[in-house]
Structure 1
């Protein structure tokens, strides 16, 4: 399988899983469309690096998600709201065994034993994750909640432009502390 030095997560990426190389180094196993390949960075760093390209970090994205959906561990992250890229971890992102899944690529999931869930992806692939069905459902619900909240908030941010009829001259006041309207 191909080993890449770097990778930009895109809309076709559906899974990032841990993979320990022969020397014990932790790398990322990435599924993109119908391709599987390795990236020479651990999954947590791959996500953090990619999120930093978008102006945040893994911690910032997780903190933002926790703020919106309530305090929770293993929060989903919004990678790109415009392209509806929401990802959920199967366990703590700090764990070397955490698998990240793109919510939009998940077709269905089912129990695969007491502590495992079989995730069916839209591309026809199946991924068995070490997470009970109950916990996996919780993670998916949190991801859907985050997506719903973000999409609803976005609707309130867009206001139609209007013709401005007033002009202002604002400057620091004589005490040099506040900005005031200069009439």
Structure 2
């Protein structure tokens, strides 16, 4: 493999995943996986890795995409909550073979690149990666992802959830001695 990088057959997106980049390898599309401390290459397309990772966390990609659409009202280039703590967004249509998947949590900074429609992204491991996406589109994808994350986190703080987990004491009116109970 190029530059001694590790070729891995199976990969699950995790909290160390920074970005999934499509690369041409012969006549196929592989994925260059950047993590916090190492890079590797998978013989699968980025979208295939995202889909399999959704399964690993108990759902389908299609289900997560539909939920995101409903929550934030986006129709195209929808960010995906792979798990409650891992959010990825696509740079183009996920079906596009050049689509890059970016882990929102690891984006530290970004700026317009010198080439047309390019954004230079600084990640949490201090690595800079140029992406084929305009600055405004990149910012829009970040905003959508933050909206999705906020809606999902707020849904865990609904009145129903508050009632279930409330630690408010209430008096019992049972036939036995009145005692305090947690509801």
TM range (shorter): 0.7 to 0.9
1:145 matches 2:150: no
Q: Which runs of 4+ in 1 moved over 4 A?
A: 161-165
How far apart, in 1, do the equivalents of 2:69 and 2:42 lie?
Answer: 28
* 1:2 corresponds to 2:3: no
In the alignment, what sits opposite 2:29?
26
1:135 corresponding residue in structure 2: 137
Per-residue deviation, residues 39-83 of structure 1 (Å, max 9, x unmatched): 1211111111111122222222111111000032101010111xx
Hey, what's the Cα distance between the residues in 2 that align with 1:124 and 1:135? 22
Question: What's the Cα RMSD here?
Answer: 2.0
Q: Which residue of 2 aligns with 1:51?
A: 54
Deviates more, 1:32-41 or 1:137-146: 32-41
In structure 1, what is the equivalent of residue 112 of structure 2? 111
SS at match of 1:120: strand
Task: Spell out the pairing of 1:32-71 with structure 2 (5 A cutoff).
Answer: 32-71=35-74
Question: What TM-score results when the alignment is normalised by the length of structure 1?
Answer: 0.83
SS in 1 for 2:121: strand
Asked if the contact 2:7–2:41 (Cα under 8 Å) also holds between the matched residues in 1, the reply is yes
Where does structure 1 lack aligned partners over 5 or more consecutive residues?
Answer: 166-183
- Uncovered stretches (5+) of structure 2, i.e. residues with no partner: 174-183
Deviation at 1:161, TM superposition (A): 7.0
